[in-house]
């Protein structure tokens, strides 16, 4: 039985000596069966997390992709993390996901963003070698005996009727999938992670091509099948900038943008060998009025301005033509030149996302310092694709309409690798828990960015692709990237995704934090011990002994410096441990420095959790409350919040609706 196009596996782009393509070949030939516990459709960032997590939780998983050479491809920018997204990666990692590990293995520049802001906003980011990322992802998938790769396109879902209404009870139950090559594969669960590929159309100038990524085809059939089953779809748009030939750039006319000096890995589990690859610089340059003039010349051909693109694009990541058009008073826009690979020839032109005609892209780019003779090797383009508004899924990412069917990633109207991976992980975990008859795994807004992400997705009406921002997380002061392990690793462990050895390390860290906090609150420094230091940093003298905890509260005082001055007689071991562990030290410092704010935040969390603990019965009949607004009733009926707190967050549900609900439930 031929289930895939094996010839693609032999594609020359993967004939790197280390790359085990023979094992794929081998496995496809001999071990492919047409029945799985879980089928994952799409091998992007959501698909990888869904596949690996469910496999590690003991399931037999079939991963179906249209292109075996594109597992974990970084379709847009060659970078992982960034503001708020870095938090997601850390959380995925703490729960036992793989994105952090893949980023560490492929990173060619690591940087902690927003160091000038408070610790809650610090976000790790890395430039990744996209070839290495892809190979590491493929290797990882292949390392699991219970994952099988299938190259094919899913055309149809096979479902059984359940006589449910699709709201309180699913209407259908998943049975399997049917592929383009006509194969019927049975399974207990399906996770759809098709990214931008459903009915995808790419635009450059007046040209339209079917396809989700340049050179790759569009996935057709699945969308129609889902719509026929009763799903509602919408159309979104995203874009990508041109890729440039590195040899045609004069980097002397640009400003180097190096990474950090001290490199921190994403993964709490990355220990030895980091960094794995040579570290490189990015380069910064700017557009100018000439660039903008050239771009304007192409506006008449713009698929955005002419209305050929119907889908809504993100406001936070506008195309260069959008920026020039909407902010015409801005004389320049920044352009980061980012290497796509360590040894390759292409540069990603960050900040220059566009769907203008190729000639316009090139002429405009050539007005930019350093790019005077640049050659575009791959044009920028916009892609329009189908998405499924997420009021149709539960917090487990399972669809309300079809039992055991999950959707994750861009198909859910999100943007970004990290957002996709987070959903993939949650979908993978929950699909397994459900098959094992175990309670679902749902993170609260007060626990994790992932909780915020999914809660927003299922309650808010999307108006543009959803991207994670720190401001979406009300409780971000306690949801920091540095404490993701403390927040989530034990969950990962109980799910079977984090090994016990890491929990041991975590417990050691928790003990040390406690010991450090106790020490700071119980010990004082005398004026003689500390005043010299205080003078150095321009802080005022103390006249009598002062507790370490109070000293650290001063703006510029560093805990590490203070501990160097403190008397640890009898506790030399503690001193040694504290001063050798930067991460732990920083946790203690944050706890002490921002004590008042953190207390206020915990107050807010308590208030929040009060409403989260008021459950709404799953079969609650909203039609009994006559006074609900029409929109509120409709939203409550379709989203079916599980708690009063959730009901309050649903867009379209008014305050009076919530009050009515509250009073009604109280009787």
Partner 1 sequence: MKKNLYDTIAAIATPAGEGGISVIRVSGGNAFASLGEIFYKDKGRKLSFNAEAVLSHTIHFGYIFDGGNLLDEVLVSVFKNPNSYTGEDIIEISCHGGQYLTQRILSALLKSGVRLAEAGEFTKRAFLNGRIDLSQAEAVADLIKAKTEKAQFSSIRQLEGSLSDFVKQTRKELINLTSLVELELDFADEGLEFTDKSEMLKKFQLLKDKLEQVIDSYIAGKVIREGVKLVIAGKPNSGKSSLFNELLKSNRAIVSEIEGTTRDYIEESLIIKGFLFSLTDTAGLRFAEDIIESEGIKRSMDKIYEADVVLYLIDSTKPKGTILDEINQVKSIVKPEKLLIVLSKSDLANSDGQLNELKISIKDSNTIEALKLKMVEIVSNEITVGKSSEITLTNLRHKICLENVVASLSKAIESLKNNMSGEFISIDLRNAMDYLGEITGEVTNNEILSNIFGKFCIGK
Q: Does 586 participate in binding partner 1 (rule CB under 8 A)?
A: no
Kindly give, in sequence order, each residue whose CB lies less than 8 Å from that of residue 247, ignoring residues fewer than 6 positions away: 345
Closest to partner 1 by CB, 136 vs 321, is 321
Closest to partner 1 by CB, 157 vs 658, is 658
Size of the site for partner 1 (CB under 8 A): 43
Instruction: Mark out the alpha helices in 32-176 (DSSP H runs).
Output: 45-56, 85-94, 99-106, 130-142
Closest to partner 1 by CB, 12 vs 624, is 624
Q: Does 289 participate in binding partner 1 (rule CB under 8 A)?
A: no
- Contact between residue 283 and residue 256 where contact means Cβ atoms under 8 Å apart: yes
Q: Which of 383, 323, 328 is nearest to 351 (CA)?
A: 323
User: What one-character-per-residue DSSP string does 147-198 give?
Assistant: EEEEE--EEEEEEEE----SSSS-SEEEEEEEETTS-EEEEEEEEE--TT-B
447 DSSP 8-state letter: T
The span from the CA of 100 to the CA of 87, in Å, is 11
Out of 32, 214, 486, 625, the only residue in the binding site for partner 1 (CB under 8 A) is 625
Out of 11, 328, 334, 438, the only residue in the binding site for partner 1 (CB under 8 A) is 334
Which listed range, 43-51, 194-202, 410-418, 463-471, lies at the site for partner 1 (CB under 8 A)?
Answer: 463-471
Nearest approach, Cβ of residue 111 and partner 1 (Å): 10
The two beta strands, 147-151 and 61-65, are: parallel
Out of 56, 155, 243, 476, the only residue in the binding site for partner 1 (CB under 8 A) is 476
Closest to partner 1 by CB, 543 vs 555, is 555
- Contact between residue 477 and residue 597 where contact means Cβ atoms under 8 Å apart: yes
The span from the CA of 456 to the CA of 445, in Å, is 9
The span from the CA of 44 to the CA of 395, in Å, is 21
The span from the CA of 78 to the CA of 62, in Å, is 27
Nearest approach, Cβ of residue 471 and partner 1 (Å): 4
Nearest approach, Cβ of residue 319 and partner 1 (Å): 14
Out of 33, 117, 253, 573, the only residue in the binding site for partner 1 (CB under 8 A) is 117
Q: Which of 144, 125, 53 is nearest to 95 (CA)?
A: 53
The span from the CA of 578 to the CA of 560, in Å, is 9
Nearest approach, Cβ of residue 409 and partner 1 (Å): 22
Give the length of the chain.
667
Q: Does 654 participate in binding partner 1 (rule CB under 8 A)?
A: yes
Kindly give, in sequence order, each residue whose CB lies less than 8 Å from that of residue 562, ignoring residues fewer than 6 positions away: 525, 530, 533, 548, 551, 552
Q: Which of 491, 329, 24, 2 is nearest to 10 (CA)?
A: 24
Closest to partner 1 by CB, 144 vs 594, is 594
The two beta strands, 154-161 and 172-179, are: antiparallel
Out of 120, 448, 453, 506, the only residue in the binding site for partner 1 (CB under 8 A) is 120
Binding mask 477-516 for partner 1 (x = CB under 8 A): x---------------------------------------
Q: Does 114 participate in binding partner 1 (rule CB under 8 A)?
A: yes
- Contact between residue 93 and residue 99 where contact means Cβ atoms under 8 Å apart: yes
Q: Does 113 participate in binding partner 1 (rule CB under 8 A)?
A: yes
What is the CB-side half-sphere exposure of residue 588 using CA atoms within 13 A? 30
Q: Does 153 participate in binding partner 1 (rule CB under 8 A)?
A: no
The span from the CA of 587 to the CA of 302, in Å, is 50
Closest to partner 1 by CB, 317 vs 405, is 317
Nearest approach, Cβ of residue 125 and partner 1 (Å): 9
Nearest approach, Cβ of residue 120 and partner 1 (Å): 5
Q: Does 369 participate in binding partner 1 (rule CB under 8 A)?
A: no
Closest to partner 1 by CB, 524 vs 611, is 611
Out of 229, 342, 574, 662, the only residue in the binding site for partner 1 (CB under 8 A) is 662
Q: Which of 427, 431, 409, 405 is nearest to 418 (CA)?
A: 409
The span from the CA of 13 to the CA of 228, in Å, is 39
Out of 629, 637, 643, 651, the only residue in the binding site for partner 1 (CB under 8 A) is 629
Which listed range, 205-213, 260-268, 437-445, 620-628, lies at the site for partner 1 (CB under 8 A)?
Answer: 620-628
The span from the CA of 111 to the CA of 80, in Å, is 11
Out of 12, 31, 528, 666, the only residue in the binding site for partner 1 (CB under 8 A) is 666
Q: Does 660 participate in binding partner 1 (rule CB under 8 A)?
A: yes
Q: Does 452 participate in binding partner 1 (rule CB under 8 A)?
A: no
The residues in 554-573 that bind partner 1, with binding defined as CB under 8 A, are 555
Q: Torsion angle of alpha carbons 19, 22, 28, 30, nearest 10°?
A: -140
Q: Does 664 participate in binding partner 1 (rule CB under 8 A)?
A: yes
Out of 474, 546, 581, 634, the only residue in the binding site for partner 1 (CB under 8 A) is 474
Binding mask 589-608 for partner 1 (x = CB under 8 A): -----x--x--xx--x--x-
Phi, psi of 555, rounded to the nearest 5 degrees:
-50, -55
Closest to partner 1 by CB, 388 vs 475, is 475
Out of 470, 481, 584, 646, the only residue in the binding site for partner 1 (CB under 8 A) is 470
Residue located via tokens 């902690």: 112
Which listed range, 49-57, 118-126, 337-345, 441-449, lies at the site for partner 1 (CB under 8 A)?
Answer: 118-126
Q: Does 83 participate in binding partner 1 (rule CB under 8 A)?
A: yes
Out of 118, 164, 234, 344, the only residue in the binding site for partner 1 (CB under 8 A) is 118
Pull the structure tokens for residue 41: 């459709």
- Contact between residue 376 and residue 244 where contact means Cβ atoms under 8 Å apart: yes
**Chain contacts with partner 1 (rule: CB under 8 A):** 82-84, 113-114, 116-118, 120-121, 316, 333-334, 469-471, 474, 476-477, 555, 594, 597, 600-601, 604, 607, 610, 624-627, 629, 654-656, 658-660, 662-664, 666-667
């Amino acid at each position: 039985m031929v289930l895939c196009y094996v010839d693609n596996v032999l594609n020359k782009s993967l004939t790197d000596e280390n790359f085990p393509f023979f094992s794929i070949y081998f496995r496809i030939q001999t071990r492919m069966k047409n029945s799985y516990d879980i089928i994952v459709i799409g091998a992007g960032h959501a698909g990888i997390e869904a596949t690996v997590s469910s496999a590690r939780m003991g399931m037999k998983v079939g991963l179906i992709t249209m292109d075996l050479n594109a597992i974990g491809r970084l379709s847009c920018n060659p970078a992982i993390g960034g503001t708020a997204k870095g938090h997601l990666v850390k959380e995925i990692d703490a729960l036992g996901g793989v994105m952090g590990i893949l980023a560490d293995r492929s990173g060619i520049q690591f940087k902690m963003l927003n160091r000038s802001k408070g610790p809650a906003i610090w976000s790790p980011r890395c430039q990744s070698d996209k070839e290495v990322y892809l190979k590491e992802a493929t290797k990882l998938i292949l390392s699991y005996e219970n994952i099988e790769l299938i190259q094919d396109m899913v055309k149809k879902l096979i479902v059984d009727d359940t006589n449910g209404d699709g709201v309180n009870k699913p209407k259908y139950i998943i049975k399997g999938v049917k592929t383009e090559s006509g194969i019927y594969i049975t399974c207990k669960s399906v996770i759809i992670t098709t990214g931008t590929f459903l009915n995808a159309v790419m635009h450059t100038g007046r040209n339209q091509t079917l396809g989700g990524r340049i050179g790759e085809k569009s996935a057709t059939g699945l969308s129609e099948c889902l719509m026929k089953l009763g799903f509602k779809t919408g159309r979104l748009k995203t874009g990508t900038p041109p890729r440039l030939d590195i040899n045609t750039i004069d980097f002397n006319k640009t400003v180097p943008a190096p990474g950090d000096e001290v490199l921190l890995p994403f993964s709490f589990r990355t220990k030895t060998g980091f960094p794995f690859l040579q570290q490189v610089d990015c380069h910064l340059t700017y557009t100018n009025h000439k660039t903008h003039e050239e771009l304007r010349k192409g506006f008449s051909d713009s698929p955005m301005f002419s209305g050929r693109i119907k889908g809504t694009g993100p406001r936070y990541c506008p195309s260069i033509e959008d920026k020039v058009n909407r902010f015409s008073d801005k004389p320049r826009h920044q352009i980061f030149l980012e290497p796509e690979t360590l040894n390759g020839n292409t540069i990603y032109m960050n900040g220059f996302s566009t769907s203008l005609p190729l000639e316009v892209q090139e002429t405009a780019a050539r007005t930019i310092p350093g790019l005077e003779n640049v050659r575009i090797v791959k044009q920028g383009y916009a892609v329009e694709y189908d998405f499924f508004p997420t009021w149709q899924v539960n917090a487990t990412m399972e669809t309300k309409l079809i039992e055991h069917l999950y959707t994750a990633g861009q198909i859910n109207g999100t943007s970004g690798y990290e957002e996709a991976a987070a959903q993939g992980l949650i979908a993978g975990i929950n699909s397994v828990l459900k098959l094992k008859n175990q309670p679902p795994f749902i993170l609260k807004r007060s626990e994790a960015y992932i909780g915020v992400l999914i809660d927003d997705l299922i309650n808010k009406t999307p108006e543009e692709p959803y991207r994670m921002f720190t401001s979406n997380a009300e409780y971000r002061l306690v949801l920091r990237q540095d404490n993701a392990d403390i927040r989530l690793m034990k969950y990962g462990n109980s799910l079977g995704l984090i090994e016990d050895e890491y929990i041991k390390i975590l417990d050691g860290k928790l003990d040390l934090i406690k010991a450090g906090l106790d020490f700071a609150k119980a010990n004082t420094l005398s004026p003689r011990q500390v005043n010299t230091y205080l003078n150095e940093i321009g802080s005022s003298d103390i006249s009598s002994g002062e507790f370490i905890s109070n000293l650290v509260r001063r703006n510029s005082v560093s805990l590490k410096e203070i501990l160097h001055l403190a008397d640890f007689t009898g506790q030399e071991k503690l001193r040694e441990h504290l001063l050798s562990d930067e991460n732990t030290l920083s946790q203690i410092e944050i706890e002490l420095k921002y004590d008042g704010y953190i207390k206020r935040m915990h107050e807010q969390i308590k208030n929040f959790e009060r409403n989260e603990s008021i459950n709404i019965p799953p079969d609650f009949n909203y039609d009994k409350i006559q006074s609900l607004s029409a929109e509120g009733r409709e939203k409550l009926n379709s989203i079916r919040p599980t708690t009063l707190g959730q009901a309050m967050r649903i867009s379209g549900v008014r305050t009076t609706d919530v009050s009515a609900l509250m009073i009604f439930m109280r009787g």
